[in-house]
A and B are shown apart, each in its own frame.
Chain A
Amino acid sequence: MKKLSLVLFCLCFALPTTAKILSAKSIPANAKMDVELIIPTIETSIYARPYVAVWIEDAQRKPVRTLQLWVGKDEWLKDIRSWWRKVGRYDRVLVDAVTSATRPAGKYRFSWDGLDHDGHRVEQGDYTFYVEVVREHGGRNYLRQKLTLAEESFTHELAATEETGVIRLQYHSK
């Protein structure tokens, strides 16, 4: 009995330390995440190509990397409400670096190389994938998906919404 409690006592100290070591470990060197994003065709009287932001946040909800930013003029950046408030407004240089033109309806593929904004490979742990799509004269959809980035590969599928088709995420750990 005494021995057991001693073991438990030691575990109490050992566990947090182990967790720390684990969390400090980067994701595998070749790990990457492929994203397939569909912008649906919408029949309407005035169609404008949507503004799109795709980004990753860590478990503390700190933005890690903006993967895609499709917007016409920077005047409209604020209309991608959540992305602007959480990411865009803090870093004009980043905005200028990632921004690109809006795109028509269609299927788009891109990958995340597992690096943060500073070019460092992210640590293993929990993250959230975000997509915000805003269309003038149209609607807004804001989607999120929890991710655990570690040594295990996985796939996720986000159901279609008004402004997005099915979104597929595929994490390859090797």
Chain B
Amino acid sequence: MLNKKLKALGLACSVLSGVALSCVANAHPRWVLPSHFTVSKEGGDWLTFDVTASHGTFVFDKPAGSQNASITMPDGRSERPNFTLTGKRRSVFDFFFSEEGTHKVKINNQPSYYTQYKAGKRDTEKWVRANKVERASVLPKQARDVVTVVGYTRAESYVTVGKPNEKAFELENKYLELKPITHPSDIVAGEPVRLQFYFNGKAQQGVTAEITREGTLYRNHQEQIDVVSDEKGFMEFTPEIAGRYIMKASYKGELEDKTLADEMKANVHFTFETLLP
């Protein structure tokens, strides 16, 4: 009886903290950092993943949850992590990788709605967490330039066990998606990397991406690579130095159904390693 009550309490807490956290985390880019990107051990190996939301490259800040983490297996089916835990400044999950091929690791939350508006004499930009239906009741009467945006961010990475394959690259045809052309396990310093972006299942031009190598705290300049997708959604860049990188790709797209939002801001935060030649 007591046990049941405790369980219920725990569940309520985790739901509440989940809500609170996702509010906090929204403004900060959410990302995942795998402990390894490659497994060579016969019979498989455990890998661990850090999930956080922060402005620094691989600097832990807000504990974005791992509750929605899933792994697309080399045959295309989906699995959940074996263990997850949430700390103050990051969450963690572990998964046992034993099937040969390429796995896509992803933490995709639900779409979130926010309304931007201007108010007051100084035209201060403000925003409130509300969709188009909800906004009428929360916006002040004098709100101007009201725009409601639906945001959706994919935080993802790839892990390859033995021989790589491409089944896990299959698209959902929803929001912004990245399709690797250069296999993520074949990204090598000094060699060009090619990717393709899709928005709602169609190759998308004009997706912008910033690519940053780890260790920004220990160098004076971000040394960021900026790329924009071409008319067929392709993007190409060359990481010159081996290390772990994050690509933050973003696209503001039109919505077909504007009942809940006026436009969409979709992101893909792709973590990858660049190998030594």
Contacts and interface: CB of A to CB of B under 8 A. Distances in A.
Interface of A: 73-78, 81-82, 84-85, 88-92, 140, 142
Interface residues of B, number: 17
B96 to A, nearest CB: 14
A89 B41 CA distance: 10
B275 A74 contact: no
B162 to A, nearest CB: 5
Nearest to B100: A92
A85 B185 contact: yes
Question: Helix, strand, loop or mixed for chain A's interface?
Answer: helix
B276 A78 contact: no
B45 interface: yes
Nearest to A74: B42
A105 to B, nearest CB: 24
Contact of A82 (B36, B45, B163, B276): B276
A78 B162 CA distance: 9
B276 A142 contact: yes
Contacts of B38: 78, 84, 89
B275 A89 contact: no
Contacts of A85: 185-186, 188, 275
Interface in B39-56: 39-42, 45
B277 interface: yes
A78 B39 contact: yes
A33 to B, nearest CB: 24
Contact of B40 (A75, A140, A142): A75
